[in-house]
Structure 1
Amino acid sequence: MTCTSWYRRSSTGIRPRSPWLWRCWYGPTTPASPVRPIFCRLSSLVAELLTELFTDRLPESLLVGLGNPLRRDDGVGPYLAEELAKLSGIRSENAGDRPERAIDFAARHRPRQLVFLDAADFGGRPGELRRIDPSELSSRSLSSHRLPLPALIAWIEAEYPTRCFCLGIQAVDMQLGEGLTPAVAATTAELLDWFARRLEMERTPPVTPPA
């Protein structure tokens, strides 16, 4: 199903007891296996999508989180931006509900590609991650976005040698309140896991075969 607008519609959902992200948990192990944490299993679909999108080295990209953390799943973009900024080697900024701040971020970082992270409604499964083409976004300014994203993206790409992309996470609950719903929190854990693994891979020098 084609996405036509970023998600800004209230819906009902079950509120988790703990605020923000639901942390990864330690799962049961068999007696014959070592006790180790189950660290956010990465689905093949998420890994494939991110690998296709981030063809350059991660330091050459800039990730910008959009959304309002006081509206449950709408805070997924800001949360991801702040968590990714803690990883050395990733440039990440939190624009909140002011996407026009991405203009300043692009001028400061001059990235080869800029990726917006936001809650979205494309009729997918709760927490589903999907790349959304800028041409498929609504040209109308939404309630928590003062500037239409298509216009913003067109301006940045015309002003800088930067490609812009949008990653949307299917939201479940956009009502007032803090904390992500379980499905969206699980997707954020997968995303953070993928970026951490990708950074580790990029830092590992290639193995030179013996002469």
Structure 2
Amino acid sequence: MTDVLLCVGNSMMGDDGAGPLLAEKCRAAPRGNWQLIDGGSAPENDIGAIRALRPDRLLIVDATDMGLNPGDIRLIDPNDIADMFMMTTHNMPLNYLVEQLQDAVGEVLFLGIQPDIVGFYYPMTEAVKRSVEDVYQRLADWQGSGGFVALGGEA
């Protein structure tokens, strides 16, 4: 089974650096059998590499404005991304990425971490750092949804 972890975000933009921080942690001490791809702020550049891997599971982690408390984590149905108005600092909407990968990936999971402050040269907030650590710890024994609640589900 091939699992790919795609971390998305910009480390120079405060809480938008959640994905890159997770990638950094995984490079330093991998957890589970995830193949790591640090997509940065242009994850669409990694479509070819992900398609070549043909993963059974693709987990995308990104700071996502869902109108929740800072640091809250939710699974978002990839099919709903296009219909949601979500804050993004990326070159292309993530629904484009998901559409380009659906025929090459068994399962796509999109995990959003609610940011507090997104702005150039702002530090990452403690709430988001704690959430990144929570995701990182769960990677080793990830099953199903990783134990995270779906957006709109009960907390």
Which residue identity does 2:50 align to in structure 1? A
Q: Who is 1:112 aligned against?
A: 56
1:41-99 Cα deviation digits (max 9, x unpaired) = xxxxxxxxxxxxxxxxxx62111111110001001011112322331632111011102
Q: Who is 2:90 aligned against?
A: 145
Contact 1:69/1:178 (8 A) holds in 2:
no
Deviation at 1:104, TM superposition (A): 2.3
Instruction: Check 1:83–1:109 CA distance in 2 against 1; reply closer, same or farther (3 A cut).
Output: farther
Taking structure 2 as the reference length, what is the TM-score of the superposition? 0.78
Question: For 1:100, what is the secondary structure of its paired residue?
Answer: helix
The sequence identity of aligned pairs, in percent, is 29
Taking structure 1 as the reference length, what is the TM-score of the superposition? 0.59
The whole-number CA distance in structure 2 between the counterparts of 1:124 and 1:194 is 21
2:10 is aligned, of 68, 77, 80, to 68
Aligned length: 139
Instruction: Check 1:142–1:126 CA distance in 2 against 1; reply closer, same or farther (3 A cut).
Output: closer
Question: For 1:91, what is the secondary structure of its paired residue?
Answer: strand
Structure 2 unaligned blocks of 5 or more: 143-155
Could you say which structure has the higher strand fraction?
2
Structure 1 unaligned blocks of 5 or more: 1-58, 200-211
Structure 1 residue 87 and structure 2 residue 30: aligned? yes
1:101 is aligned, of 40, 45, 57, to 45
The structure that has the greater radius of gyration is: 1
Which residue identity does 1:154 align to in structure 2? E
Which residue identity does 1:146 align to in structure 2? N
Instruction: Check 1:142–1:98 CA distance in 2 against 1; reply closer, same or farther (3 A cut).
Output: farther
